[in-house]
Amino acid sequence: MSVNNVTANLLRRSNAVSSILYNQYKVIGTQGRQFHETEGNRFAVKTATNPKPDWNRAVSEAEKIVGYPTSFLSLRWLLSDEIANVALHLRKLVGSNHPLLKTAKSLIYNGRNNMQAWGLIVLLISKAAGHLSVDDMEEDKAAGVLHSQRALAEVTEMIRTSHLVHKGLVNIQPGVYPEASEMNDMTFGNKIALLSGDYLLGNSCAELAALRNQDLVELMSSAVRDLAEAEFVGRRDNQNNPLPSIPPADRTGYAVTEWTLRNVLSAGALLGKSCQGTLKLAGHSDEIQEQGYNFGKHLALAWQACLDLGPFTGKDQTVPFSLCSAPVMFHIEHDPTILTEIDKGLESVQNVDYTKVHDIIVSGPGVELTKQLQKEHSQRAMEVLAVFEESDARTALSNIIVAMGDF
C-alpha cells in the first residue's frame, strides 16, 4: 500500500477529525526563486539551474530521502481521542469570529505560513550531518537517522503547533462583547485553545523527557521560553497584536535590529535549537552543533522574510499583513511619518487603514530591502550547508531554500 493510501486510511479513522482534515487538507506550493551563486552555495546553484524546483517537488523529494511524509509527523496526536473531542467542540465555533478557527484552518491546510516542514528540516540536517559512535539499535536504517532524532522532529512540530494554538486566545475585556452569545463563543473558544495547546505542549514535553538527555531538555526548554518571550517584545494592542516600536533619533539599523529580535525569538530559536539538538543526539562536536543552530536560525529568518513579502508582491492586495513585517519596518526607518497611521492601532490593530499603509509601503524602499534581507539569510544558510559533505539530504535542503524564495 502506498504512503498516500496509508495516510488517507489513517485520516478516515476519526470521523470527528476527518470532516475537517481529510476533505480540506492540501499542500500549498509556489514556484522557487533562482539563487545567486556565492562561494558558500556554489553546489546549490547546480541543483537549481535545471528546472527551478517548486515548493511541492522540493518537499516531496526531501520526504523520500527521509523515508516518509513528515507533514504528518504529529498525526497520531491529531487522531487521538482528546483531539477528536476538540474537533467536535470546535464545530460549535463555526460562524463566530474567534481567531482559533483561523489558526485551525491554517494548520489543516498545512500552508508554508506555519512552516509545518520544520520536522522535515530537522530530519534532513540530521541525515546530512550523519551520526557518530551510536548504537546500531538506535538507528533507523531505512531513513538514515536515529529514532531519537525522529522523536525530536516530532517534538519540534508539536511545540510550534501548540504555540500557534495558544496565540488564538482572546483577551476578553469588559464591554468588548456586550452580547451574551458572542461572549459565550469567545469564552468557549478560549477554553478550547488553552486546553488543546496545553495537550500538544504536554505531549511534546513527555516525548522530550523520554529521550533522557538533560542537555537536550534544557536546550529545547530555552526554545519554548523564547517563544513566550516573543509575545512580550515591543508595543502591543489590547489583543496583544504586535506594533512597531518607536524608532530612536538615529534610525540606522532600526528595522533589521527590531525585526531580527522579534523573529529570532518567535521562529529562529526553535528551529535553530532543534537543528542543534539533533546534532547533539548524533554525537557531533559543539562546533558542528553551533553550525546546526546557525542553519536553522537563518533558514527561519529567510522563510519569514519571504512570508512578509507575500502581501506586498502578490496579485491579491487584500492579504492581511503584520504591522511588524519587514517591509513595514524598513519603511519606518526610511520615513517614520507612517507611524501616524499605524499608531491608530494602539487600542486595536483593526483601527488601522491597512489599504493606506499597503499603498505607502509599496511606493517606498521596504519591499526591495526585504528581498535583500531574504537573500542574505538564504545565503548564510547555504554557507552553513557547505560544512557538510555532499549528499542527497544536503541537496534537498538547498532545493528547499531555493524553492521557498519565490512568491
Model confidence at 82, in pLDDT bands (50, 70, 90)? low
Average confidence (pLDDT) over 195-204: 88
Inside any domain, residue 35: no
- Domain containing residue 313: CATH number: 1.10.600.10
> What digits encode the pLDDT tens for the residues 252-270?
899 999 999 999 999 999 9
Inside any domain, residue 12: no
Model confidence at 155, in pLDDT bands (50, 70, 90)? very high
Inside any domain, residue 14: no
HEC secondary structure over the chain:
CCHHHHHHHHHHCCHHHHHHHHHHCCCCCCCCCCCCCCCCCHHHHHHHHCCCCCHHHHHHHHHHHHCCCHHHCCHHHHCCHHHHHHHHHHHHHECECCHHHHHHHHHHCCCHHHCCCHHHHHHHHHHHHCCCCCCHHHEECCCCEEHHHHHHHHHHHHHHHHHHHHCCCCCCCCCCCCCHHHHHHHHHHHHHHHHHHHHHHHHHHHHHHHCCCHHHHHHHHHHHHHHHHHCCCCEECCCCCEECCCCCCCCCCHHHHHHHHHHHHHHHHHHHHHHHHHHHHCCCCHHHHHHHHHHHHHHHHHHHHHHHHHHHHCCCCCCCCCCCCHHHHHHHHHCHHHHHHHHHHCCCHHHCCHHHHHHHHHCCCHHHHHHHHHHHHHHHHHHHHCCCCCCHHHHHHHHHHHHHCCC
> What digits encode the pLDDT tens for the residues 58-81?
776 776 677 665 544 455 555 556
Inside any domain, residue 99: yes
Average confidence (pLDDT) over 274-279: 95
> What digits encode the pLDDT tens for the residues 107-116?
655 444 444 5
12: pLDDT strictly greater than 70? no
pLDDT of residue 165: 87
> What digits encode the pLDDT tens for the residues 354-396?
999 999 999 999 999 999 999 999 999 999 999 888 888 899 8
How many domains is the chain built from? 1
Inside any domain, residue 7: no
pLDDT of residue 256: 95
Inside any domain, residue 172: yes
Inside any domain, residue 4: no
Inside any domain, residue 15: no
- Kindly report each contact of residues 58-62 with a partner whose C-beta sits within 8 Å and lies 24 or more positions away, as own/partner: 58/32, 58/396, 58/399, 58/400, 58/402, 58/403, 58/404, 59/27, 59/29, 59/117, 59/120, 59/400, 59/403, 61/396, 61/399, 62/120, 62/124, 62/393, 62/396, 62/397, 62/399, 62/400
Which one has a higher pLDDT value, 34 or 404?
404
The whole-angstrom separation of Cα 322 and Cα 324 is 5
Of 126-140, 173-187, 188-202, 355-369, highest mean pLDDT: 355-369
Average confidence (pLDDT) over 214-234: 95
**Domain carrying residue 244:** 20-28+46-404
Mean pLDDT for all residues in the chain = 78
- Its pTM stands at 0.79
The whole-angstrom separation of Cα 40 and Cα 33 is 17
Which one has a higher pLDDT value, 103 or 237?
237
In a 10 Å sphere around its CB, with 0-12 CB exposed, 13-18 middle and 19+ buried, how is residue 149 labelled? buried
